[in-house]
Each structure stands twice: as C-alpha cells, then as structure tokens.
Amino acid sequence: MLNIEHLETVAGDFRLHNITLSAPAGSYGVLLGPPGSGKSVLVETICGLRSPSEGRILINDKDVSHEDPRKRLVGYVPQDYVLFPCQRVRDNIAFGLRSRGMSRHDAIKDIQWVVELLQIGDLLNRWPRTLSGGERQRVALARALAIKPRLLLLDEPVSALDEGLRERVCRELRRFQQELGITTIHISHNIEEALAVSDWAAVLENGHVLQTGKMHNLLRHPRNETVARFLRSENIFCGQAHPGDNAQSTVTFANQTLTIAGTLTGPTTFVVRPELIHFGKPHAPGKNIIRGRLTEITDRGAYIRLVIDAGVPITIFTSVKDQTGAMSIGESYDITIPPNAIHVLEESTAPARLTSDR
Amino acid sequence: MPETRTQQRKTSILDTVFGAVLGLYILFIGGIVVANALVVGMTPEGRLQFWESIRDPDVLHAVWLSIWTSTVSAIIAMGISIPSGYLLSHRRSRGMRFIDAIVDIPIILPPLLFGISLLVLFQRTFLGASLRAIGLKFYHEPSGIVLVQVLIAAAYGIRMLKGAFDSLDPRLAAVARTLGCTRLRAFLTVVLPSIRNSIIAALVMIWARALALYGPIIAFVGATTGRTEVLPTRMYLEMSVGRLEAALAVSLLMIGLAAIVLLILKLVGGSDGIDSERMTRL
C-alpha cells in the first residue's frame, strides 16, 4: 500500500538517510525511535508537508513524492493534536470535507459515522480549549478520519495522555483501525505501545531505519547494539569468538566462556534474553553454566528481576512461583544460559564476522 | 494547608501591588480628562469655546476628516500589516532580520521626520513629479494625510501582528493543508481566525495612532482650514495662538470620538478564546 524507496529529506541540519519501508494495506505500523531520530520528519514527508530531496513515496503504486498534501488523501494527527482553536469541535471535524467543496450542512451530516465511531457526539458544540487530553485526541482522530483517508499517520497520539489512559486509548486506536481497515502508521518511543498495537515496527535512529519487522522479532533478534539498547535489552555483552566444532563457537567475555551456535571469529556482540536464563543453587560445573553472586532482587509483580555479578552484571527474569525458596543478596548461584537465549548481533559495535548460515 | 494559605497570601499581595501601579496610571489618565472637562465646563469662557467649537463648520470638517482618514488608513495599514507580519514571522533569514529592523524605524524616529521626508520625496524628486503627472497628488491633499498615517501606523500593526503570528502554532496551517486546503485557504480559514483578537487589537492601535498624528501632517499636507486640517492639527494651532479653552474643547471632542470608536471595536471584538486559552494555561 505504502512503499517508501530510498527516501532522503533535509530538515534544517537534520537529514533522513536512504529510508526504505513498506506498509502493507490494512496494516498498523509503528515507527519507533528516540526523540530526534527522524520519525516526525518521515511522517511529515509522507503526508507532503516536507519535500524529499531523493527517493520516492508510493501510495497504491502511485508516486506521490512531490504531490500537494491536499491531494494525497492522507489523514494526519500531529503531536498535541493541533485542533483549530477558532472552530468548535463540529467544524474542526467537518473542516476537511468543507475544504473539499462540501457545504457545511452536508459536511456535518457526512461526519456522523466518525462521530458515532469515536463516540464524541456530546463534544460537537464544545471549543477545543475546553476539552481534556483524551477528548482532544478523539476529535483530532475524527478530523483526520472524516476525509476517509487512504493512509492514517499518527504522531505520538497518546504521548499527551495520562499514563493510565494510554493503554486504553492504544487498544481503541487498534480497534478503530481494524474496523476501518485503514493502513496506519503510528509514531512512538514507547515499546509497550508498539507491542500493543503494531503489526510491524521500524526502529529509527539519527535519520536511518535500523531495523524493521514484527515487534516480537525485533525484541528477540535486534540487528545491532543501538536497536538492542533502544528496545531495552538487558544483557548486551562483547567478547572474543573462536570457531569450534559442530558449527559452534566459544565466546570469551569477562573471564566467562559461552558456547554459541554458528561459526564466529573475532570481536562479537551478543544479547542474552533474561527470561530464558535458568537460575539455581551452585552445582557441578558444565557448559554455559556461570557462577556469580546475587546483587539485586527487584519484584516487578509478574516476575522477579535478579542481577548476578559474574564479572559482569547478568540480569535474569524469573517467575514468582519458581522462587518460593529464600534468595539472599551476596550468596553464590549458578546460572545456565541455554543456546537459544543467546542472540549474536549482526552489526556489532566492533564488527564480528559471521560465517554461520543466517 | 498553611503552605497553600501562604501562597494565596503572596499572590494576593502581588496582585495588590500590581493593582496599585495600574490604578495610579489609570487615575493619572482619568485626572487629565477630568481636568480638561473641569477647565472647559467650569468657566464661562470654556463653555462658550466648547459650544462654538462643536458648531464651527471648520471643526466639524476636521472631525469628519480625522474619522475618515484614520479609518481608511487603518484599513490600508491592516492590509499591509497582516501579510508583512506573517512573512516576518514565518521566514527566518538574515535578510528578514534586516527588514524586521527597518519596520521599526517609524516607531523609533520622530513622526515629524516622515512628514519632512515625504515633502522632499514628493516635491523635490522625479518620483513626486511623475506621480503628479499621472494625477496622483498627495501634497496639500487629504490623500497625503492617509499616506502619512499609513506609513507610520502600519509599523505598529506589523509589529503587533508579527508577535501574534509568532505565538501561533505553525502546524495549524500544515494540518489544514493535509485536510485538503490550499495555502491561501488555510491562511484565511484557520490562521487569521486564530489571531482574531490580535487583529482587532492591532486595528485599534493603528486607528488610534493614525488619529493622533499631527506633526508630519502639518509638515507634508499643511493645515488648511476646511481642507487638510484634522483634529490634532486644530488642537495644536488653537494652542499655538493661546486659545487654551478652544484647544481643550477640541481635545474633549477627540477623547469622546476615540472612546466611542474603541468601545465599538472592543464590543465587536469580544473574545476569540485564544487569549483565554493562553490564560488558562498559565
């Protein structure tokens, strides 16, 4: 539906570099990245408020790269919603239809479906300044949807809302999107938000798309350290890899040795998924068993976060019911890291040469 | 609770101090008006001069000339101020900063300077002669009054409206364009209505500034009674020949005129909600 090919946009001192993305029809995508990574510039380029210096934007296979924003039929909900302060809610929502030549009477009749969908009938006579954050968000969404856009772009749609509201609003956004089947791109810097709504996600940093894919795939297989750190991977380690037998390698890091699948040589960066690490009292040494002292215990409600000092801090997520026995800070424990808990980053800070089949 | 009370008390004291400052200023302005009225109303000479003034056809002509020139000038100056203020607000470059500084010249320099400069431009240069040749006359003409007023008052309008555009979210027009608007329609239907209060305030300021000018008007178009004499000019000339009561009578007329027009504009203006929104944010 939406295809972005080698897009470059200059915005002051900032530049988007060679952005290539694809959003299938009816999908819900999330652009993730820290502030200043270029998410908003990318969305503004898609809706036509910025002109690309290179590359193409295709909507339904039609090149719209330099088309006027009013002709693109792209719904845009900016951050903080930017409702028109001089118009009542009703006129804000009908604005797009009136701009396209419809009379006020017809436009107000034509917005009924979106008013009902978003349940904002009681807000129609209000001025934007009298609305709460959640109400503004709904009105801005209604205004964007009223023109029946081909593509919906949401710039941090829940960031202005209270923490408690965000999850509910995200669920609603997803429901509206599914009911309408509209291709949607949502900007966020919040991983939980992306997990709640997205079919696919892209991680941006400094004007580059670092990785795209399904959220669970990004979380389990981050391509590089920047993506891993942004997605809050807990255990990121650098070590020296040596190829071994049976398409396996050993990686030495902080006086510890791990066996990793694949033939690796040289400096290697890898992440270890904390929820897959086994934890227990010391027993006989073995492959991928590391001994260390327990230094931190944090109860996170659904699970317990432990930190073991094994030369480097290693984080473990363990379920509450598995830890009925007493755990003591300072005691020694063994942790077992199964091969499937280890993910070698394709692009290491110090590049590793991967010779295994990928 | 005690902290809240302390905070309330602090705010209250601050408001009292600020209120006292404002009150003194208002008292000062009110005192001037009352003093004028007393001098005119309490002395037989003053009363006589006042009634003579308001029946004098030349004074009535000056009233009418002041009203229409100020109104026409305010409309023309708004036509200059709105696009200029928008451009200065939205285009940031070294060149624009230079132009921005030039706009302040009529505010900083004495208005008389512009009257003299216009006199030189229209009477001593090729431009003036060319304009006269095609029938555009400003020297010693009421149209010259409008020219002087527009030249000076527009600077105030541009400065005020640039400030209003600066405080407006530039994304308003951008969102309107994604909804199907042209740039012009977005400007007319979203940007301008969003600064409605500031536009009315600028209009009041421009009109009042135009009404009050006399130095450059005397220099450029003179003060021919019944032709180019406006109220402030009349007041100045009455004063210069020692007719204090007559000058005060004209000043009362001006105060009354200004009060009526400003009241009408304030009533028409009402509140556009933008300023109230800003206040609620505070």
Residue B247 has pLDDT above 90, yes or no: no
B14 Cβ under 8 Å from any chain A Cβ: no
Sheet holding A14-23, edge to edge: A14-23, A2-11, A54-59, A62-63
A129 with A223, same domain: the answer is: yes
Whether residue B210 contacts residue B153, with contact meaning beta carbons closer than 8 Å, is answered with yes
What residues of B are in contact with residue A75 (Cβ under 8 Å)?
A: 178
Measure the CA–CA gap between A261 and A195, rounded to whole angstroms: 28
Q: What's the CATH code of the domain at A319?
A: 2.40.50.100
CA distance B262 to B212: 14
Q: Is the pLDDT of residue B192 over 90?
A: yes
Domain boundary residue among A228, A256, A278?
A228
User: Which residues 49-108 of B are in CB contact (within 8 Å) with A?
Assistant: none
Q: Check residue B191 and report its DSSP letter.
A: I
Q: Report yes or no: A258 and A277 within 8 Å, Cβ to Cβ.
A: no
Same structural domain, A194 and A271: no
Q: How many CB pairs under 8 A join A and B?
A: 70
DSSP A347: B
Q: Tell if the CB–CB gap between A99 and B274 is shorter than 8 Å.
A: no
Q: Please report the pLDDT score of residue B148 as a whole number.
A: 94
Contact between chains at B178 and A48 (C-beta distance less than 8 A): yes
A221/A240 same-domain check: no
Helix (H) and strand (E) counts in chain B: 16, 0
A63/A44 Cα distance (integer angstroms):
16
* Cβ(A58)–Cβ(A38) below 8 Å: no
Q: Are A33 and A230 in contact (CB under 8 A)?
A: yes
Show which of residues 172-201 on chain B sit within 8 Å of chain A, judged by CB atoms. 172, 174-182, 185, 189-190, 193-194, 196
B70 alpha-carbon distance from chain centroid: 9
Show which of A228, A257, A274 is a domain's final residue.
A228
Cα–Cα dist A315/A296, whole Å: 9
- A48 and A104 both lie in a single domain: yes
Last residue of one domain, picked from the residues A228, A251, A271: A228
Two tokens, residue A142? 């209604």
Q: What percent of chain B has pLDDT over 70?
A: 91
pLDDT for position A357: 30
A127 touches chain B (CB under 8 A): yes
Closest-CA distance of chain B to residue A47, Å: 7
The CA distances from residue B43 to A292, B74, B180, B243, in Å, are 104, 37, 68, 14
Q: What local confidence, expressed as pLDDT, does residue A152 receive?
A: 93
B271 compared with B213, residue with greater pLDDT: B213
Work out the minimum CA distance from A17 to partner chain B, whole angstroms: 24
Q: Which of B90, B92, B172, B178 to mutate to test the interface with A (most CBs of A within 10 A)?
A: B178
Nearest Cα of chain A lies from the Cα of B181 at a distance, in angstroms, of 5
Together in a domain, A267 and A178: no
Count Cβ atoms below 10 Å from residue A62 Cβ, excluding itself.
10
Substitution target from B169, B172, B177, B179 for chain A, most A beta carbons within 10 A: B179
**Diameter over CA atoms, chain A:** 81
- Residues facing A336 on adjacent strands: A278, A289
**Domains parsed from chain B with CATH numbers:** 22-281 (1.10.3720.10)
Distance CA A73, CA A46 (A): 11
Same domain? For A14 and A102 the reply is yes
Q: Which percentage of chain B shows pLDDT scores above 90? A: 41
Q: Do A86 and B272 touch (CB under 8 A)?
A: yes
Nearest to B273 among A95, A100, A129 (CB): A129
Lowest mean pLDDT across A323-332, B69-78, B138-147, B223-232:
A323-332
pLDDT at B250 over 80: yes
> Does A27 share its domain with A143?
yes
- Our count of domains for chain A comes to 2
Helices B57-90, B231-240: crossing angle, 10 deg rounding: 120
Question: Would the CB atoms of A85 and B277 count as touching at under 8 Å?
Answer: yes
Chain A residues inside the 8 Å CB shell of B185:
99
- The residue of chain A nearest to residue B179, with distances taken between CA atoms, is A96
Note whether B140 contacts A: Cβ–Cβ < 8 A: no
B32 has a chain A CB within 8 A of its CB: no
User: Does A143 contact B179 at a Cβ distance shorter than 8 Å?
Assistant: yes
Q: How close is the nearest chain B Cα to the Cα of A322, in Å?
A: 48
- Domain carrying residue A308: 234-354
In 3D, which of A222, A194, A204, A210 has the Cα closest to residue A37?
A204
pLDDT by residue for chain A (358 residues), tens only, comes to: 899 999 999 998 899 999 999 999 999 999 999 998 999 999 999 999 999 999 999 999 899 999 999 889 999 999 889 999 999 999 999 999 999 999 999 999 999 998 988 889 999 999 999 998 889 988 999 999 999 999 999 998 888 777 777 888 888 888 888 888 899 999 998 888 888 889 999 999 999 999 999 998 998 889 988 888 888 888 888 888 888 887 788 888 888 888 888 888 888 888 999 888 888 877 767 788 888 899 988 888 888 888 999 888 999 988 866 554 677 888 888 888 888 888 888 865 443 333 333 2
Given B181, B196, B273, which is nearest A127 (Cβ)?
B273
Residues A35 and A106 in one domain: yes
B169 contacts chain A (CB < 8 A): yes
Contacts of residue B169 in chain A, CB cutoff 8 Å?
A: 82
- Inform me whether the pLDDT recorded for B281 exceeds 60: no
On the question of pLDDT at B1 being above 60, the answer is no
Nearest CA in chain A to B184: A99
Q: How many CB atoms lie within 10 A of CB B182?
A: 13
A125 interfacial to chain B (CB closer than 8 Å): no
In this predicted structure, what is the pLDDT of residue B10?
59
Interchain contact A86–B (C-beta under 8 A): yes
> What CATH number does the domain containing A221 carry?
3.40.50.300
